[in-house]
Amino acid sequence: MIVATPEDMAALGALLATRLQAGDLVALNGELGAGKTTLTRGLGEALGVRGAVTSPTFVLARTHPRTDGPPLVHVDAYRLSTAAELDDLDIDFAASVVVVEWGEGLLDGITDAWLQLDIVRPVGGVVTDDGIEAREIEVSGHGDRWADLAWLRPLVE
């Protein structure tokens, strides 16, 4: 799927939010500045979390409480290198909606189901004066929970 602008990236996060419940995990992969936090911000706003969703680079994981649902736990795994380190954060996966940036290769063994978005900047892409440039996202579902991605199809097509 092509995501043209940061606003569209946030809107995609908001769409994902409508599907998320406690126990769900979303893995966002993509280079520095790909748009992972931008997506998470839209997701968090749609969930109605307390506190702005910003890059959690210096805290590894930030929990955003909600008044009417499971908290959003936003993890930046950039500086983690093993699944054991992620496990050490003691995140209550079952009771939270968890979004992990840079979780590639760390999730196997921690969970058997997650929704994965791989974000890339297409080679030769046009960048506007405002720094806006289309991103390409590949969505994949791991495990039974995400076996059916038909609900995403309106965006994918």
Tokens at 46, concatenated: 């749609």
Sign of CA pseudo-dihedral 89, 93, 98, 102: positive
- Which one among 35, 42, 44, 70 touches ligand ATP, defined by CB under 6 A? 35
> What is the nearest approach in angstroms of ligand ATP to the Cβ of residue 148?
26
> What is the nearest approach in angstroms of ligand ATP to the Cβ of residue 8?
6
DSSP structure string for 1-18: -EE-SHHHHHHHHHHHHT
In the bound state with ligand ATP, the residue whose beta carbon lies nearer, of 95 and 127, is 127
> What is the nearest approach in angstroms of Mg ion to the Cβ of residue 138?
18
Site residues for ligand ATP, window 112-141 (CB under 6 A)? 131-135
Of 76, 83, 84, 98, the C-alpha closest to 24 is 98
**Distance (Å, whole) CA 86 – CA 107:** 8
Q: Which stretch binds ligand ATP (CB under 6 A): 14-22, 27-35, 60-68, 141-149?
A: 27-35
